[in-house]
Amino acid sequence: MADEQHLSGNHLLAVLPLAEWSRLSPHLVLVDMPLGQVVYESGDRLNSVYFPTTSIVSLLYVMADGASAEIAIVGNEGVVGVALFMGGETTPSRAVVQSAGKAYRLEARILKEEFHRAGPVQRLLLRYTQALITQMAQTAVCNRHHSIDQQLCRWLLLSVDRLPSNKLTMTQELIANMLGVRRPGVTEAAMKLQEAGLIRYNYGHIEILDRPGLEKRVCECYDVVKREFDRLLPDLKAL
Alpha carbons within 13 angstroms on the beta-carbon side of residue 177 total 19
Residue 7 CB: number of other CB atoms within 10 A?
Answer: 22
Q: Residue 40 maps to which CATH number?
A: 2.60.120.10
Nearest Cα to Cα of residue 180 among 139, 215, 213: 139
In this structure, the answer to whether residues 16 and 108 fall within a common structural domain is: yes
In this structure, the answer to whether residues 61 and 157 fall within a common structural domain is: no
Is 30 or 6 the better-scoring residue by pLDDT? 30
Mean pLDDT of the chain: 86
How does residue 149 score in pLDDT terms, banded at 50, 70 and 90? confident
In this structure, the answer to whether residues 35 and 102 fall within a common structural domain is: yes
With 80 as the cut, is the pLDDT of residue 183 above it?
no
In this structure, the answer to whether residues 159 and 88 fall within a common structural domain is: no
Q: Can you tell me the distance from the alpha carbon of 228 to that of 209, in angstroms, rounded to the nearest whole number?
A: 26
**Residue 31 lies inside a defined structural domain of this protein:** yes
In this structure, the answer to whether residues 129 and 161 fall within a common structural domain is: no
How does residue 54 score in pLDDT terms, banded at 50, 70 and 90? very high
Q: What letters, b where the CB count within 10 A reaches 16 and e where it falls short, cover 99-126?
A: bebbbbbbebebbeebbeeeebbeebbe
In this structure, the answer to whether residues 52 and 158 fall within a common structural domain is: no
pLDDT tens-digit series, residues 109-122: 999 999 999 999 99
**Angle at the Cα of 60 from the Cα atoms of 58 and 66, rounded to 5 degrees:** 135
How does residue 124 score in pLDDT terms, banded at 50, 70 and 90? very high
In this structure, the answer to whether residues 121 and 39 fall within a common structural domain is: yes
Q: How many domains does the chain have?
A: 2
**Angle at the Cα of 213 from the Cα atoms of 176 and 226, rounded to 5 degrees:** 70
Q: Residue 180 maps to which CATH number?
A: 1.10.10.10
**Residue 34 lies inside a defined structural domain of this protein:** yes
* Mean pLDDT on 192-218: 89
In this structure, the answer to whether residues 151 and 126 fall within a common structural domain is: no
Is 91 or 41 the better-scoring residue by pLDDT? 41
Cβ–Cβ < 8 Å for 217, 150: yes
Query: Which domain does 205 fall in, by range?
Result: 147-218
State the pTM of this model.
Answer: 0.87
How does residue 239 score in pLDDT terms, banded at 50, 70 and 90? low
Residue 176's alpha-carbon distances to 27, 53, 85, 194, in angstroms, are 37, 25, 31, 17
How does residue 164 score in pLDDT terms, banded at 50, 70 and 90? confident
